[in-house]
Amino acid sequence: MTSKPISRDDLLVLLSSMGVVLPKDNKLPEEELNKRLKEALDTSQEYSDVIKKEPVDPLSLPKWSSEEKTLYQASQRDSLLENLGASFPSNAVSLAKEYTFKEMKQTLLGVAYTYDLGVKEISFLTHDDTWGIFIRIIGVYCLKNDIPLTYILYKELKPTSDTPLDVLRRQVRLEQDDVTSRISDLEGRAILTLFEQNGARLDPKLLQLAESQTVKHSGFRPSFILPLCPINMRNLGSLTKDPGCEVCGKKTTSRCVQCMTAVYCSKECQREDWRTHKSACKSMKGGSWHPITVTTTMPGMPSGGFLSNINTRDSLHRHPRTQKIPSIPNSQGTKIFLAKFQVPLGNTASQMMIYDRQKDFQVFWMRNTNPKLFDEAHRSMQGRMKMYRWMKRISDNQYAICLDRAPEQDPLW
């Protein structure tokens, strides 16, 4: 574990900086927040997609070649939303905690940039020089689809009055100089969490190898770095799915049937919360339900065609997911469920795409099926391109939408 655990408040800020926004008043325990942070880090580095076997042995992989791409080029994972068009990583540090993940991605991308320059030792130092992380690049190896894995040794630098930070750096360096990268305190804790998480997955023989290598100071630990991606909406939906019981923070099993927003782990917690919740509860019973007709294809698209869904949070290194259009699945049964309504970019709204959190349910609503209701729904977006509303199934291509009952807070998917 890191010498200074991340506090609960900072865990929420760090998760939020990754797009995993949980209700501010959630009661999830720190253990659950740490679990979600690790899941979010794995999602960002696409761990389950690129690592097919554990324990991980970098030395069994082919060495990385920069003939076609530099390590920096192969490690870039900006989304459409955050693509800044920079030719090299910035070394400026932002102390605003809401930018922590963005800074972390930039810092680790800087490791690749430094490697391309022929430098293999880097010091991540906090802006006030109170502590740091020293890393030594042992080698860069190639995973499937030309994804780089950077095998490192790292050590947390904790200065004392007798041994200041610059002395610690000289003690651990093998080369005459290293590159300095400035980090915030929270960013450093997040980087250590990632290094510890990946280091625990290495083949045990590598730990012995690292301990036997000639280094100037003990305390180095092995780990590896994979490119970090922005977390797309589909995965954010999974990471924010259960905000925890309104009362105790435990995993939820039910919702308030009146408003469908408050969640609980038990009837006891729901009864305990009713005095607080009843004033905010907006009953679904009073909502207006309207039938709509949906389809899996748009006009001009052949039945059994293909569909691509592009999201501005998706990393640019991946092609949009293309899938064969199926019949409408009955994945929700007769239950009320939350759906996202989205109009196309840059076109006069003549259709809306509708899908649920996991995109098991994905259909189109055409304006010409009910122009008056469609226009009312479009106005409900209030100039935005999307809205979230409750739906329920009537028949194969007939659904009902509760247009006048929006969720208390828009989810992130």
User: For 95-124, what is each residue's pLDDT tens digit?
Assistant: 689 999 999 999 999 999 999 999 999 999
Question: Above pLDDT 70, what percent of the chain?
Answer: 84
**Residue 372 corresponds to which amino acid?**
K
The predicted-structure confidence for 252-272, as pLDDT tens digits, reads as follows: 888 888 877 788 999 999 999
Smallest Cα–Cα separation from 108: which of 85, 87, 133? Answer: 133
The pTM assigned to this predicted structure is 0.75
Answer yes or no: are the C-beta atoms of 288 and 266 closer than 8 Å.
Answer: no
**Cα–chain center distance at 408:** 22
Q: Which residue has the higher pLDDT, 285 or 247?
A: 247
Amino acid sitting at position 205: K
Left (φ > 0), alpha (ψ -120 to 50) or beta: where does 368 sit?
A: alpha
| Chain-centre distance for alpha carbon 13 | 13
Residue matched to tokens 């280094």 = 215
Task: Count CB-CB contacts under 10 A for residue 68.
Answer: 8
| 367-378 average pLDDT score | 95
On the CB side of 113, how many CA atoms lie within 13 Å of its CA? Answer: 16
Phi, psi of 20 (to 5 degrees): -90, 80
**Is residue 296 very low, low, confident or very high in pLDDT (cuts 50, 70, 90)?**
confident
Cα(81)–Cα(230) distance, integer angstroms: 10
| pLDDT of 341 strictly over 80 | yes
Q: Taking residues 122-130, report their average pLDDT.
A: 95
The answer to whether 128 and 138 are in contact (CB under 8 A) is: no
3 state DSSP class of 141: strand
% of the chain residues with pLDDT over 90: 54
Residue 56 one-letter amino acid: V
CB 132 within 8 A of CB 143: no
| Domain-wise residue ranges, the chain | 8-231, 232-281, 287-413
Tell me: pLDDT of 237 over 80. Answer: no
Predicted pLDDT at 214: 52
